Chain A
Amino acid sequence: MTDLALRRPVGSGTGTVSGPRRRLIGLVVALAVLLGLLVASMMIGSTAIAPTVVWDALFHPSNDIDQFAIRDFRLPRTIVGLVVGTALGVSGALIQALTRNPLADAGILGLNAGASFAVTVAVGLLGVRDIQGYMWFAFAGALIVTLMVLVLGSNRRGQSPVMMVLAGLCVGSVLSGAGSALELTNPDAFDAMRSWNAGSIVSRPLDMLWPTLPFFAIALLLAFAVSGPLNAMALGDELAVAQGVRLVRTRILAIIALTLLAGGATAIAGPISFVGLMVPHVARWIVGPDQRWIFAYSALLAPILLLASDILGRVVMRPGEIPVGIVTSFVGAPVLIALVRQKKASGL
Chain B
Amino acid sequence: MTTTPLRGRGAALTAAILSSALVLTACGSDGDSGDNAAGRSDETHTVKAGNGDIKVPAAPQRVVTIGNTDLPFIDMGGKPVGVTGVDESELSLLPEGQRATFEKATELGDEVDLEKVASLKPDLIMVQIPDAEFQKIEDQLGAIAPTVFWGLDTEWKALAEAIAEAGNLEDALDRQKADYEGRVAEMKQTYSDVIENTRFVNLDRYANSDPGTFVIADIGCVEIAQDDIGLNFPKAAAGADPLAYTSLPFEQIAELSEYDVITYPADAEGQPTEVFAPVVQTNTWKELSTVQSGNALGVFCPGNNSYGSVLRYLDSLDTALATLPAEQ
Which chain A residues have a beta carbon within 8 Å of chain B's beta carbons?
A: 45-47, 63, 65-66, 68-69, 71-74, 129, 131, 187-188, 191, 194-195, 198, 200, 202-204, 314, 319-321, 323
Contacts and interface: CB of A to CB of B under 8 A. Distances in A.
B285 to A, nearest CB: 9
Given A72-B282, A72-B283, A320-B246, A200 B252 contact: no
B252 A319 contact: yes
A47 B210 contact: no
Contacts of A204: 211
Contacts of B207: 188, 191
Contact of B211 (A68, A69, A131, A187): A131
7 contacts: A47-B252, A47-B255, A74-B251, A187-B87, A198-B210, A203-B212, A321-B213
B211 A203 contact: yes
A320 B210 CA distance: 11
Interface in B264-308: 274, 278, 282-284, 287-288
A321 B249 contact: yes
B322 to A, nearest CB: 28
A73 to B, nearest CB: 5
Contacts of B255: 47
Interface string B232-253: 0000000000000011111111
B248 A319 contact: yes
Contact of A46 (B208, B209, B252, B288): B252
A73 B255 CA distance: 14
Given A72-B284, A200-B211, A204-B211, 6 more contacts: A63-B287, A68-B284, A68-B287, A187-B8, A191-B208, A203-B212
A73 B283 CA distance: 10
B257 interface: yes
Contact of B251 (A63, A73, A187, A195): A73
Q: Which of A45, A63, A314, A321 has the most CB of B within 10 A?
A: A321
B254 interface: yes
Contact of A195 (B210, B248, B252, B278): B210
Contacts of B209: 195
A202 B211 contact: yes
Q: What 5 A-B pairs have minimum CB-CB distances, sorted nearest first?
A: A203-B212, A191-B208, A203-B211, A202-B212, A69-B251
B212 A69 contact: no
A323 B210 contact: yes
Nearest to B211: A203
Contacts of A188: 207
Given A73-B212, A131-B211, A200-B210, A65 B254 contact: yes
A188 B87 CA distance: 11
B248 A65 contact: no
A315 to B, nearest CB: 12
A46 B211 contact: no
B210 A46 contact: no
A65 B254 CA distance: 6
A195 B212 CA distance: 11
Contacts of B251: 45-47, 69, 72-74
B257 A65 contact: yes
A65 B207 CA distance: 27
A73 B250 contact: yes
B254 A69 contact: yes
Contacts of B247: 320-321
Contacts of B212: 73, 200, 202-203
Contacts of B252: 46-47, 319
A68 B254 contact: yes
Interface in B200-228: 207-213
B8 A47 contact: no
Contact of A65 (B8, B249, B274, B284): B284
B182 to A, nearest CB: 38
B257 A73 contact: no
A74 B252 CA distance: 12
Given A73-B212, A202-B210, A202-B212, A66 B254 contact: yes
Contacts of B284: 65, 68-69, 72-73
A46 B257 contact: no
A321 B246 CA distance: 9
A200 B250 CA distance: 14
Given A72-B283, A73-B212, A195-B208, A203 B254 contact: no
Contacts of B287: 63, 65, 68
A197 B1 CA distance: 35
A320 B248 contact: yes
Nearest to B207: A191
A314 to B, nearest CB: 8
Nearest to B278: A203
Given A65-B257, A65-B288, A69-B284, A45 B211 contact: no
Nearest to A76: B212
A173 B315 CA distance: 52
Given A65-B254, A195-B211, A202 B249 contact: yes
Q: Which of B8, B250, B254, B288 has the most CB of A within 10 A?
A: B254
Q: Which of B207, B249, B250, B278 has the most CB of A within 10 A?
A: B249
A198 to B, nearest CB: 7
Contacts of A66: 254
A204 B274 CA distance: 18
Given A131-B211, A191-B208, A194-B208, A46 B249 contact: yes
A198 B183 CA distance: 45
Contacts of A68: 254, 282-284, 287
